[in-house]
Amino acid sequence: MRCPAKFVWLILWTVCVAEDCREPPPRKETEIVSGSWTEQTYPEGTQATYKCRPGYRTLGSIVMVCKDGKWVSLHPSRICRKKPCGHPGDTSFGSFHLAVGTQFEYGAKVVYTCDEGYQMLGEINFRECDTNGWTNNIPLCEVVKCLPVTEPENGRIVSGALEPDQEYTYGQVVQFQCNAGYSLDGPKQIHCSAGGVWSGDKPKCVEITCDPPHIPNGFYTPESNRYRTGDRITYHCKEGFYPEIQGNVARCTGNHWSPAPRCTLKPCSRPVIKHGRLYYDYSGYFPANVGQYFYYYCDHNFVTPSRRSGDYLTCKRNGWSAEVPCLRQCIFDYLEHGHNSYSAKKYLQGETVRVQCYPGYSLPDNQDTLLCTENGWSPPPKCILVKTCAKSDIEIENGFFSENIFTYPLNKQTQYKCKPGYVTADGATSGLITCLQSGWSARPVCIKSCDAPVPENARIKSDGTWFKLNDTVDYECQQGFESRNGDTAGSIVCGEDGWSDKPACYERECITPGIKSYLDAEPKHNKFKVGGVLKFHCRERRVMLGADSVQCYHFGWSPNLPTCKAGQVKSCAPPPQLLNGEVKETQKGEYQHSEVVEYVCNPRFLMKGSHKIQCVDGEWTTLPVCIEEERTCGDIPDLDHGYVRHSAPPYHHGDSVEFGCNASFSLVGPRSITCISGKWTQLPQCFATDKLKKCKASKIFASEGNLLDKTEFDHNTNQSYKCRGKSESKYSVCINGVWDPRVSCKEVVYN
């Protein structure tokens, strides 16, 4: 059978003709197809070119071609990747961590926190990487301050005192002390804590008192419910009892009685008779009963209290009848260099005799009385030549004697005081000198002095509490402050009239700069605080050359003020090459006025200067510099319940290491940390998986047209949702019970 030629040709055509694509090029998450694609089918070989969505970039073109009825990528490895934003910038007295994302790239979010004792200026504490780089300015941290502290009633501040209305900064310590007769009720010292409040309440000074004493077998006078410091009581014991120590007076001293008033029963054991003995042994009679008595006699030169050689000791309820059974007997019959009596006289131990020395002589220490002691006369009956020191022998420059005496005996010590504004060599307001055999012990010295200065918004570079005449003290202003002359440091000199100046610094301000013609500025102030912003616009449809706003910094205005140009502005050639860096996006052949180009540094290089340059009337603004970061990071910090994946030192700037968690633990936070200028970024945490909190479903999931029947989501769940009137989806991840970023359909507007 032969087939017709027409039929054979139809079969061959069907086999050889390629198949068309029956739908337009596919939509992609990070790319947008160029051109209009409204046809139902597209022939074999049709090409579709894609461009990256905002926030993404690629090297080369992304092209898909229709082949065998399907769209196939010409270069499968070419994809759009997130644009990097570079380092977001450090803040003084603070740090930051990646809250969204794991790299400094499009979509990432860093949150700043201040160090302990510092608080953030303003409410914005984050920066986000968008299509134009990092949003917001770098947050600033200022030191926390506490309210002024006043002295407690009946007390004073002994350390750390400032002016009555002056605030204290974080870490400063104030110490308290009460006046005599009062004690602290509360902390001895308080410090300004990180929360801006004092670590404790100011203490009170309460009067020191004693409770009424409890004296078993005794009573006391006067009676009262409360006794002040220094008050005395006299107590008496019942019959058969006696005061535990000699005397029956107790004094209130610091919440207790001294000596403690007690009444004790005294037994009569065998008596110990110093300088005497019992007449017989009486060995079997002790301890003796009350009422028993025994005969004793005294040694040579000693007698009984009744001045006899022997007497009786009687056991009484409070002990033996004679406390000192044998007393010394002293005979006074001669005084060397003094007036003598015509007959010898006898004196009992404890008795005194008054004597008179010849002129120019005296008993030791200028005494005029001899005391009969257990060892004889004290001092010995001998008058010695008197050595005296006179006030007229010494002159105190800028000082004076505080006593109304003109001559001083040997070894007598006296006090001298310095005039106000003067101190002794050791910084005291008074000193002591002694009358010695060679004269006064030392020449009193009073030198001009100045108390430690009290700075205002400055720090004194000295730990001294006082300073001599012509001493110089240096000080430096706190950050953001300067002197009236615009200096950040200075010095003062101790002079005859005190300090040459007050070490005071004042908050820096920026004077409104001279505004050129055709340029308007808002707001209209004469001065601006640090952080203030001045915005500009041109009049008469002129074109602005430069930034449209400047900010007041510690060093002045930055950047330079713009100018207004009439007529056409020039375009710019391609941006210059950056050594050890490159332009982030694909370069063009020509850039229009005000267009911005962003640079990034190569790995292990830090950027100094703005990471963006701008085309201004045909010229590019200043190019940044990429400097090699020589500082490396130390050992990788330990992660509890976790481990490090594949790492080896040294760790240079920009190097990252990745973490994982042990079995039954889950990672919370960034999966990796990065070495930035010699310091590691914030470490993640490993939580027990069964302890991780779930996130509750947001009302937005159900109210904005999102179909959802779940009420809880597990940790690390990535949930998408759409807001009413919006076509694009938003994403949030459940992190240990908290959605990150926060689920919201509100537009956030930043001033």
**Could you give the CA distance from residue 709 to residue 701 in angstroms, rounded to a whole number?**
9
Task: For residue range 392-408, list pLDDT tens digits in order.
Answer: 888 888 888 878 888 88
Half-sphere exposure of 181 (CA within 13 A, CB side): 8
- DSSP string covering 672-726: EEEEETTEE----EEEEGGGPPPEEPPHHHHHTS-----SEE-TT-EEEE--TT-
Q: Among the three residues 177, 192, 207, which one is the final residue of a domain in this structure?
A: 207
Predicted local confidence at residue 95, as pLDDT? 94
Residue type, 59: L
Q: Are both 46 and 24 inside the same structural domain?
A: yes
Of 709 and 416, the structure prediction assigns the larger pLDDT to 416
Q: Are both 440 and 469 inside the same structural domain?
A: no
Rounded average pLDDT over 667-682 = 85
For 561, which DSSP code?
A: P
Rounded average pLDDT over 544-572 = 83
> Sign (positive/negative) of CA torsion 148, 149, 153, 158?
negative
Q: 384: pLDDT confidence band, cut at 50, 70 and 90?
A: confident
Rounded average pLDDT over 264-285 = 82
**Could you give the CA distance from residue 250 to residue 229 in angstroms, rounded to a whole number?**
12
Task: For residue range 110-132, list pLDDT tens digits in order.
Answer: 999 999 989 998 889 999 999 88
Whether 405 is covered by a domain: the verdict is yes
Structure tokens at 430: 């008074």
Contact 456, 504 (CB under 8 A): yes
**Could you give the CA distance from residue 593 to residue 562 in angstroms, rounded to a whole number?**
13
Q: Structural domain tally of the chain? A: 9
pLDDT beyond 60 at 750: no
* Mean pLDDT, all residues of the chain: 85
Q: Which residues contact 699 (CB under 8 A, 6 or more apart)?
A: none
Q: Are both 280 and 297 inside the same structural domain?
A: yes
Share of the chain above pLDDT 90, in %: 20
Rounded average pLDDT over 464-488 = 83
Contact 316, 290 (CB under 8 A): yes
Full domain range(s) for residue 73: 17-82
Task: For residue range 7-41, list pLDDT tens digits in order.
Answer: 444 444 444 466 889 887 887 888 888 888 888 88
Q: Among the three residues 507, 523, 551, which one is the final residue of a domain in this structure?
A: 507
CA of 190: how far to CAs of 146, 161, 203, in Å? 11, 12, 9
Contact 733, 740 (CB under 8 A): yes
Q: Are both 257 and 298 inside the same structural domain?
A: no
pLDDT beyond 50 at 269: yes
CA proximity to 104, closest of 656, 728, 749 = 656
- Per this entry, what is the length of the chain? 751
Q: Are both 364 and 397 inside the same structural domain?
A: no
Predicted local confidence at residue 9, as pLDDT? 44
**Could you give the CA distance from residue 304 to residue 117 in angstroms, rounded to a whole number?**
79
Whether 497 is covered by a domain: the verdict is yes
Whether 366 is covered by a domain: the verdict is yes
Rounded average pLDDT over 182-201 = 89
Whether 133 is covered by a domain: the verdict is no
Write phi, then psi, for 5 (nearest 5 degrees): -60, -35
Whether 194 is covered by a domain: the verdict is yes
Contact 44, 62 (CB under 8 A): no
pLDDT beyond 60 at 60: yes
Lowest mean pLDDT among 32-46, 259-273, 657-671: 259-273
Predicted local confidence at residue 708, as pLDDT? 63
Q: 163: pLDDT confidence band, cut at 50, 70 and 90?
A: confident
Whether 113 is covered by a domain: the verdict is no
Helix (H, G, I), strand (E, B) or coil at 155: strand
pLDDT beyond 90 at 352: yes
Q: Which residues contact 574 (CB under 8 A, 6 or more apart)?
A: 587, 588, 589, 590, 591
- 160, 166, 169, 173: CA torsion to nearest 10: 20
CATH number of the domain to which 203 belongs: 2.10.70.10
Q: Are both 488 and 438 inside the same structural domain?
A: no
Q: Are both 184 and 166 inside the same structural domain?
A: yes
Whether 624 is covered by a domain: the verdict is yes
> Sign (positive/negative) of CA torsion 308, 311, 317, 318?
positive
Q: Among the three residues 243, 265, 287, which one is the final residue of a domain in this structure?
A: 265
Q: How many CB atoms are closer than 10 A to CB 619?
A: 13
**C-alpha triplet 4, 5, 8: angle, nearest 5°:** 95
Predicted local confidence at residue 4, as pLDDT? 52
pLDDT beyond 70 at 134: yes
Whether 611 is covered by a domain: the verdict is yes
Q: 749: pLDDT confidence band, cut at 50, 70 and 90?
A: very low
For 393, which DSSP code?
A: G
> Sign (positive/negative) of CA torsion 623, 629, 630, 631?
positive
- Is it true that the peptide bond before 287 is cis, omega within 30 degrees of 0? yes
**Could you give the CA distance from residue 673 to residue 684 in angstroms, rounded to a whole number?**
8
Predicted local confidence at residue 435, as pLDDT? 86
Lowest mean pLDDT among 370-379, 540-549, 615-624: 540-549
Lowest mean pLDDT among 26-30, 151-155, 223-227, 240-244: 240-244
Helix (H, G, I), strand (E, B) or coil at 112: strand
